Structure 1
């Protein structure tokens, strides 16, 4: 039976990309070696075995911590039911969720009427169900030194790229050219909510017929 290290499990609205506004259950997995300098979930990077806790600790978190619980997909389904979650869309994120095989997780959820989406940096092989929606947020030249995999770029249903500078835009264009990406929806997401980064994203989206993702959840103050 597959088990996964879960840092957070909660119901909210998806605030980014194609599913913005969609009621969703978020599963945040522990562990990520990519090392993005602007990461807003650095508490998920390290897997400290001393930080394993009971499920109720994770479910009732009031602050960001590196504590995680080991759960099977069946355990998660029971939690969804016990918590009375009504969302039918599941977002699997991290950390870097593709460090592990997500196919058993996705397939079981889909068998129970849920749709699945993963959010990945594109630096690990993507092992998911055929119907899983894959959001690749490519992390170029990060501290961890991982390359973006061609297989990840080709599997992406959408590409969501964080930007703050022209260099970030140039990196994305080079990546799209390298992997011959032509029809996949492209979202630009300002790394900060600052006016300069947002204006750059807007102008670049208009210039290239791309789309804007503004992390709606941060603007309206939800998790």
Structure 2
């Protein structure tokens, strides 16, 4: 089975994992927190600036073993399949010590993440999902949901009001004034924006985008999100 932009599949139950590694969260409200990143395969949204395009395609021919994925030393489309119980066993196998789990992609909300996040919270972990907001968010009630809304992308997906309402944090990529206007339109769907943390993230660390984000964050009392991991050279 191959996932293409014109043939999306939603809410898989089997987890298909492109990468898994322990690092420091570099973006948003949890910047600086030690974390295990679980990067899921598959995304039909089509953001032109995406820095993980190798996670877009789901193809059975690209499935490999967990050991092969964990040994990766370069980006690739290969991924392995597991369930929540199997993933927790891999955490123990790898000896991870971070207690914050970031589930990203790809588009992680193509998956039903309720079983995984519930098991993680039962084991004493905190969880975070980073999503485009174009799929219904299915996860534990205590999961921190970061919506990085993707508007008018190639895939033609709409940002869901239900995803915005579930968000603890809205982290919006910006490069020009129109992106601020897009965000204002999205925030107008919420009854009370004081209940969500709003972050602006300059696209591709561009100087002009950074200046715009800084100015707007000061004016709106929002938070600036820098991709710290890229500045300090870690994954």
TM class by shorter chain equals over 0.9
TM-score (norm 2): 0.92
Are 2:218 and 1:206 equivalent residues in the alignment? yes
1:171 to 172, 177, 182: 182
The residue correspondences of 1:16-165 to structure 2 (distance < 5 A) are 16-165=27-176
Equivalent pairs counted in the alignment come to: 222
On the 8 A contact 2:129/2:144 being kept in 1, the answer is yes
1:195 deviates by 1.2
In 2, Cα distance between equivalents of 1:5 and 1:64: 15
Name the residue aligned to 2:233: 221
- The whole-number CA distance in structure 2 between the counterparts of 1:7 and 1:29 is 6
* Residue 79 (structure 1) shift: 1.4
Unaligned runs of 5+ in 1: none
Runs of 4+ aligned structure 1 residues displaced above 6 Å come to none
TM-score by length of 1: 0.97
3-state DSSP of counterpart to 1:178: coil
CA RMSD of aligned residues (A): 0.9
Of 24, 35, 51, which aligns to 1:13? Answer: 24
> Unmatched 5+ residue regions in structure 2?
1-12
Render the CA deviation track for 1:91-149: whole Å, top value 9, x for unaligned: 00000000110000000111111111000001100000111110000001111111111
Give the superposition deviation at 1:82: 1.5
| Number of the residue aligned with 2:7 | none
